[in-house]
Amino acid sequence: MDHGITIGPVQGLEDIPPVVKQVSDKVDALLVHKGLVGQVSDYLGPKGCRLIVHLSASTALSPDPTRKEMVTTVYHAIRLGASAVSVHVNLGSNGESSMLKDLGTVAERCEYWGMPLLAMMYVRDGSKESEYDPVKIKHAARVAEELGADIVKVNYTGSIESFSEVVNSVKIPVIIAGGPKMSSDADLMAMVADAVKAGARGVAIGRNVFQHQDPAALAGQIRRILDGDLPG
């Protein structure tokens, strides 16, 4: 639920605590920016979910929205009670070099503090096709691993076979992004199920859950697929 900085208080993010309350017992972790931790703290912990603090940001209002800047630190995330932190990198963009530098630096601080690091790796070189290109996504996953990430989040490549190649290109767990709001629940469930069959270790889904008319029911369905209780 880090989308508010990027695209503003869109539908589903106008009032975050009620949405979090609905899904907190169905998800492993909630990902937010530092300023929202206080709003959702009641739903974190033993009876809720864990906290991931997102460290980087940009806005859709920027001349270059793909350039992510660090907006907080690993140490501050620790003070907020985070169980992990995350960083967003857009490969192929004009700001790639600075984002790679930031990812490497954050990985070192995470290693020092014993803090797990999730790297959100996207290919944003100006071509829509590149964002789902298996060869480029394999490269993105490998960058995350080699710079010290513990988990990597990437786009699903569209098939079990091609995504298996992505999963097998690294030794760290691979999870998939949910992406823009999908046209049907069935399409989302099929993507999650196929990703799991390909070896994905989980999902990081935002808009498809928090913009759903029943976030709790949808999160529950996804949970059952991940736990092997519901076939795709």
107 in a domain, yes or no? yes
169 in a domain, yes or no? yes
Domain count across the chain? 1
138 in a domain, yes or no? yes
> Given a cut of 80, is residue 232 above it in pLDDT?
no
41 in a domain, yes or no? yes
Which pLDDT score is estimated for 127?
95
229 in a domain, yes or no? no
Residue-wise pLDDT for 43-83, tens only, equals: 998 878 999 999 999 999 999 999 999 999 999 999 999 99
> Given a cut of 80, is residue 230 above it in pLDDT?
no
Which pLDDT score is estimated for 148?
98
Residue-wise pLDDT for 96-147, tens only, equals: 999 999 999 999 999 999 999 999 999 999 999 999 999 999 999 999 999 9
Place of tokens 């954050």: 106
Which pLDDT score is estimated for 157?
97
Instruction: Identify whether the C-beta of residue 200 lies closer than 8 Å to the C-beta of residue 226.
Output: no
29 in a domain, yes or no? yes
d(CA 165, CA 149): 19
> Given a cut of 70, is residue 174 above it in pLDDT?
yes
Which pLDDT score is estimated for 181?
83
113 in a domain, yes or no? yes
Residue-wise pLDDT for 146-172, tens only, equals: 999 999 999 999 999 999 999 999 999
> Given a cut of 70, is residue 12 above it in pLDDT?
yes
231 in a domain, yes or no? no
Q: Assign residue 150 the CATH number of its domain.
A: 3.20.20.70
- Name the residue among 201, 229, 206 with its Cα closest to residue 219: 206
Q: Which of the residues are catalytic?
A: 2, 122, 153
Which pLDDT score is estimated for 221?
95
**pTM of the predicted model, to two decimals?**
0.95
Task: Spell out the residues 6+ positions from residue 1 whose beta carbon is closer than 8 angstroms to its own.
Answer: 13, 16, 19, 20, 30, 31, 32, 36, 206, 210
Domain that includes residue 106, residue range:
3-224
Q: Give the CA distances from residue 84 to residues 47, 50, 117, 166, 223, in Å, rounded to whole numbers and listed in that order.
A: 18, 8, 6, 23, 20
What average pLDDT score do residues 201-228 get? Answer: 95
CA atoms within 13 A on the CB side of 2: 26
Which pLDDT score is estimated for 185?
94
> Given a cut of 90, is residue 229 above it in pLDDT?
no
Instruction: Identify whether the C-beta of residue 90 lies closer than 8 Å to the C-beta of residue 68.
Output: yes
Which pLDDT score is estimated for 46?
84
